[in-house]
Amino acid sequence: MNKKLLALLLAGSMLLAASCEDDYEVEEKAESTVTTTFAVETMPVAPVESLVTTESMQPDIVQIRNICELATYRVYFHNVAKAVKPRSSGLSGIGESDRQFWFEYSGYVDLGVDMSRVAMTIEGDVVTVTMPDVGPIGGVNVDSSSYDFNSVIIEGEHWYNVINPNEITATDLTNAINDTNTDTMFSILSDNTIMMTAQQRAEELIENYIQLVGKYSDTHFTVVFEHVSES
């Protein structure tokens, strides 16, 4: 069988397979999975002593909100993202195959308290602080220097894909990162240890501030924390 006949037969079989699909192109996102490792860092906060003066006789809601704004708990992550870019639909997909690629990247998520929702009441020596649970401040922050296109491992093409290779582009990497970031955020917010530690950190800083005010006013305050719902 000569080379021209072989090429014609190959092209014919590809057209026959494509004829079973709609003759239009559908943009498909890469399907991705993620393996994530976490490390946490307590962000430095100015000593609460700096918020108290000798004239402070009672806790101040402005200062408590300042503490909430500063009590950030940063969760670093390192992801191994694995994705599959599907072949295009219709005629544009002739000669293409699904193609896997994977790469590593790093970033972080900040957890904290929405200070605008913090309130306080004082009745005698009882201070009640009403606040929401900790949550993400902003979104997922990706370290753009932790990866580049040269660090991406791409599955090799089959010999018959040479006619129409399924190229992996920068957009595919961005889509894969967006997908895995969703999983990363879910994993962080579902980690009870991380969330409880972040919550305790904010509450401890607030209570330390209140008790320090009590020291100057010769009052021992009892601090009660109440949490408002997300609705």
> Is 41 or 65 the better-scoring residue by pLDDT?
65
Around Cβ 230, how many Cβ atoms within 10 Å? 8
Around Cβ 231, how many Cβ atoms within 10 Å? 3
42 confidence band (pLDDT: 50, 70, 90): low
The confidence score (pLDDT) of residue 145 equals 94
6 confidence band (pLDDT: 50, 70, 90): very low
The predicted-structure confidence for 111-165, as pLDDT tens digits, reads as follows: 999 999 999 999 999 999 999 999 999 899 999 999 988 888 877 655 555 555 6
7 confidence band (pLDDT: 50, 70, 90): very low
Q: Which of 226, 211, 170 is nearest to 58 (CA)?
A: 211
Residue 139 — φ and ψ, nearest 5°?
A: -105, -155
Contact (CB, 8 A) for 218 and 57: no
Contact (CB, 8 A) for 230 and 69: no
The predicted-structure confidence for 193-223, as pLDDT tens digits, reads as follows: 999 999 999 999 999 999 999 988 889 999 9
Segments in the chain forming alpha helices (H):
3-18, 61-70, 170-189, 192-216
Domain ranges of the chain: 28-228
CA distance 110 to 112: 7
Rounded to 5°, the CA angle 93-99-100 comes to 160
Could you tell me the pTM of the whole model? 0.71
Is residue 22 pLDDT above 50, yes or no?
Answer: no
In the block, residue with structure tokens 């962000």: 43
CA atoms within 13 A on the CB side of 187: 21
Is residue 56 pLDDT above 50, yes or no?
Answer: yes
CA distance 221 to 213: 9
CA distance 187 to 128: 32
| Tokens describing residue 28 | 């498909």
CA distance 52 to 5: 88
CA distance 35 to 71: 28
Q: Which residues contact 32 (CB under 8 A, 6 or more apart)?
A: 81, 82, 83, 84, 175, 176, 179, 180
| Tokens describing residue 224 | 């009660």
The confidence score (pLDDT) of residue 192 equals 93
41 confidence band (pLDDT: 50, 70, 90): low
